[in-house]
A = this chain, B = another copy of it.
């Protein structure tokens, strides 16, 4: 079986990679697993230095502060909290008052705020309560569960091939950006301001929807103008599959995002943030474990292997080969396939009919290639970073053979 879904895009280096096996079996790494520290109060003596080195090696350009967490949802939940704290700090012009503290304990104003977070239609940010309120991919995730009445804007729905639809796509992105600005203005006037905007570089669970750097640069600019934190959710896009360690590197932003959240292929969950978002008081961003040092050991090893083995270069090469092959196949079978798109190996193709999707995925699986699906009619490819062009050939041959059987 060739797995190009890789545990829902969460295996960076495939199965039983020798470097990760070495970390896991090294006796000197055993004690943090056998007696896990409560990092909030009791990190090991050498832990801060260790984290500093890791941050230096992996942080997105312009970001120097990292908070580890357990998973992607957790990372988003706590990035939101830091956004609220910072928004309120600026609004109030200082630290919480006695009245803020007394009322917050009982979920009352003024200590409890009525801030909103803006998300996007089709987005996915996790399954915990706040994250779920920001998630609009599949209704079955949400139905029957209460939610925050937070606003959402449309996310661009680009037409492919991009070169043919430049004008339409630009208009589509401008439409979405205008809606973002409109919502933020409305909420501000209504007294429940948008304290943060959260966005995926590629809407993965929702159906592999992409937007151009133009869209994200303008989105960041709107956040800057309105004071909303700009949170880039890289839980699925982090760690190289798009050809960059961080997908947002492709946007050429004038400055770093305010937050970049991660998990999955980086093994540890967590987020990077700008220093100005660091809370001024202790215990505001806290829980018992605050991540897991045993996962951080694996995160370090993954990043080292990606650099040592030049896996970003490999992923770009394999991705180009895979995407070119997908285009060839869609050109041969336009009655079944269209809209090949992607960044390096983080790529996808649509079926013309959503009923074809499960059949196609099952055909491929039966022929030995495990692929993922997302949205309503999208086949998504999420190979590990060790995926080579000859693996792409296997995927392409299998896809073509599976399409023929539709």
Partner of A35, one of B7, B283, B289: B7
- B residues near A81, Cβ cutoff 8 Å: 127, 145
Q: A36-B10, A288-B7 are in contact. Are A104 and B283 (CB under 8 A)?
A: no
Interface membership of A335, Cβ < 8 A: no
A369 to chain B, nearest CB (A): 15
Interface membership of A230, Cβ < 8 A: no
Q: A30-B24, A88-B144, A114-B146 are in contact. Are A128 and B35 (CB under 8 A)?
A: no
Report the separation of the CA atoms of residues A40 and B100 in the bound assembly, to the nearest whole angstrom. 41
Do the beta carbons of A111 and B129 come within 8 Å of each other?
no
Q: A88-B144, A100-B144, A115-B146 are in contact. Are A80 and B129 (CB under 8 A)?
A: yes
A159 to chain B, nearest CB (A): 23
Report the separation of the CA atoms of residues A140 and B139 in the bound assembly, to the nearest whole angstrom. 35
- B residues near A7, Cβ cutoff 8 Å: 35-38, 42, 288
Find residues 87-138 in chain A having any chain B CB closer than 8 Å to their own CB: 87-89, 96, 100-102, 104-107, 111-116, 126-131, 133, 136, 138
- B residues near A113, Cβ cutoff 8 Å: 144-146
Interface membership of A215, Cβ < 8 A: no
Find residues 1-35 in chain A having any chain B CB closer than 8 Å to their own CB: 7-8, 10-11, 14-17, 20-21, 23-25, 27, 30-31, 33-35
Report the separation of the CA atoms of residues A170 and B386 in the bound assembly, to the nearest whole angstrom. 66
- B residues near A34, Cβ cutoff 8 Å: 15-17, 20-21, 23-24, 298
- B residues near A344, Cβ cutoff 8 Å: none
State which of A69-77, A252-260, A322-330, A392-400 sits at the interface with chain B. A69-77
Chain A 219-246 interface mask (CB, 8 Å, partner B; 1/0):
0000000000000000000000000000
Do the beta carbons of A73 and B287 come within 8 Å of each other?
yes
Q: Which 5 A-B pairs have the closest CB atoms?
A: A129-B130, A104-B143, A88-B144, A101-B139, A7-B38
